[in-house]
Amino acid sequence: MLRAAGGAVTSRRHRLPAALDNAIERLKWARTPWTADPATLPPVVSRRTGRPARVLVAPANFAGQGHAWVEALERAGVPAVSWAFTADDRFGFGADHVLRLADAHRASRAYQRRVFDLVASNVEAVVIEAGRPLFGRLHGFDPVAEARALAERGVRVALLWHGTDVRVPSAHAATHPASPFSPPTARTRALESVALRNRRRARGFTGPVLVSTPDLLPGWPGARWCPVVVDAARWACDDPPLVRAVPVVVHAPSNGGLKGTDLVTAALEPLAAAAVVEYRVVSGVPSDEVRALYRDADVVLDQFRLGIYGVAACEAMAAGRLVVSNVDAQVRDAVRAAAGVDLPVLEASGADLAAVLRGVLDDRDRARALAGSGPALVAALHDGRRSAAVLADALGLGLEPID
């Protein structure tokens, strides 16, 4: 009964007055077992150049993007550093400083004050990712309160949202027939509460707001798109796709429920049984294994429920593979406005995926041409240059934006 009551409170946190919400957060962590303070303070010096960091990006590092943005800034001449507080390091996404989430939150107030003073005294700007706190209980686990405290010390702060942290499931379900959030589940209700809670908190923030995927732009007036970054050279492949008589079709979802793996399976199993394609599906594997899968594929199936494209699609485009996915018109319009070209992702819904793949086999030259334009799109939007320019402009660091 107590567990159920706790779950009910968690799923309704966004409805609580902010003061009560913050008090519950403090109480929750105060009652957890205490952890000894980390032996050293996290770095605020660039490990690549040895120069004092001007920018800190922290603490989510989802899909390694926090660190990728830091490296993009450094290539643009801005020393930067990334931190990651993680509950799961199975996938080994790098960062300059990695700490277990529980250890970061359970550290003493004195330690967290030392970390805050270190940041406030050394960096010019901080990018707070995903509404997650940097300094634990010091400011009530509230990243907007942290932003205000940093601003009082002369540090410029931007909030950066990745997707699930501010995507409201009920709103998505109302506009997307294949939404993974319909019908609602306990997990969906928890995601809804997190997103609404983050939005409520961010209403008190007056600094720049960035989003990593363009589908979030309509729901956040004034936000800017900071594209995800991939290492194109690492994913590049010289082998042309769709040369084999029976093409290899790969689906490697990070989250099968969100990406519509059930829809993919229903469409692909009959094609595989008829030897029209060879279908390979994997999940929960490290990035190096996914890279090998993509480079040996002809077609990569991304997602068929959310209407977006992200890191996985960019990696497959960088490899020159034909990417098939369900991408909203608004997202395609944003890409066209930013890059001046269409997104080279073949459109398909879960319902027509099998027919779309049969069409690919009927016109392989056209499909190869579409796949061949993927690396250029990645170079235009996702090699880090545009992201560094957006970050620098938002934080007042003086780089010229890319036209």
What CATH number is given to the structural domain containing 277? Answer: 3.40.50.2000
Residues in the chain: 403
> So what's the pLDDT on residue 373?
97
For the stretch 81-114, pLDDT in tens is 999 998 765 555 689 999 988 888 888 889 999 9
Same domain, 149 and 18: yes
Cis peptide before 183 (omega within 30 of 0): yes
Contact (Cβ atoms closer than 8 angstroms) between residue 189 and residue 12:
no
Do 221 and 304 sit in the same domain of this protein? Answer: no
Let me know whether 364 and 312 are in one domain: yes
Query: Domain range holding 271?
Result: 232-381
Name 160's bridge partners: 129, 210
Angle at 148 between CA 146 and CA 149, to 5 degrees: 65
- Asked whether residue 399 is domain-assigned, the answer is no
Cα-Cα-Cα-Cα dihedral sign, residues 132, 138, 142, 144: negative
Task: Return the pLDDT at 398.
Answer: 75
Cα(17)–Cα(38) distance, integer angstroms: 33
Long-range contact set of residues 219-225: C-beta below 8 Å, sequence gap at least 24:
219/166, 219/167, 219/168, 219/171, 220/161, 220/166, 223/161, 224/390, 224/394, 225/334, 225/338, 225/390
Q: Are 6 and 153 found together in one domain?
A: yes
Distance, CA of 75 to CA of 154 (rounded, Å) = 25
Regarding whether 169 and 258 lie in a shared domain, the answer is no
Task: Tell me the C-alpha distance between 96 and 56, whole Å.
Answer: 10
CB 158 within 8 A of CB 209: yes
Is residue 353 helix, strand or coil?
helix
Closest-CA residue to 168 (of 184, 151, 152): 184
Spatial separation of the C-alpha atoms in residues 61 and 169, rounded to whole Å:
22
Q: Which two three-digit tokens encode residue 323?
A: 């990417």
Domain co-membership, 326 together with 221: no
Outline where 153-214 has alpha helix (H).
169-175, 186-202
Q: Are 251 and 219 found together in one domain?
A: no
- Percentage above 90 pLDDT, the chain: 78
Same domain, 119 and 46: yes
| Positive or negative: CA dihedral 277, 278, 284, 290 | negative
172 in the same domain as 241:
no
In a domain, 402, yes or no: no
CA–CA gap between residue 251 and residue 282 (Å, rounded): 7
CB neighbour class for 36 (10 Å; exposed up to 12, middle 13-18, buried from 19): exposed
Residues 6+ apart with CB under 8 A from 65: 162, 212, 228, 229, 311
* Residue numbers of the chain with a pLDDT score lower than 50: 1-8, 401-403
Considering only CA atoms, which of 172, 170, 162 is closest in space to residue 130?
A: 162
Residue 111 belongs to a domain with what CATH number?
A: 3.40.50
pLDDT at 177 (0 to 100):
95
Task: Give the pTM.
Answer: 0.90
Quote the Cα angle for 203-175-170, to 5°: 55
The answer to whether residue 362 sits within a structural domain is: yes
My answer on whether 86 and 173 are in the same domain is yes
Residues 186/194, Cβ–Cβ less than 8 Å: no
What is the DSSP annotation of 68-128?
Answer: HHHHHHHHTT--EEEEEEES--TT----SEEEEHHHHHHS-HHHHHHHHHHHHHH-SEEEE
Same domain as 339, residue 216: no
Which residues are bridge partners to 224 per DSSP?
Answer: 210
Query: What is the structure's pLDDT at 372?
Result: 97
Q: Write down the pLDDT at residue 27.
A: 64
The residues with which 299 forms a beta bridge, in sequence order, are 249, 322
Check whether residue 76 and residue 180 sit in a common domain.
yes
Say if 223 falls within a structural domain.
yes
Residue 5: the pLDDT is 40
CA distances from 100 to 43, 178, 383 (A): 16, 35, 29
How many domains are there within the chain? Answer: 2
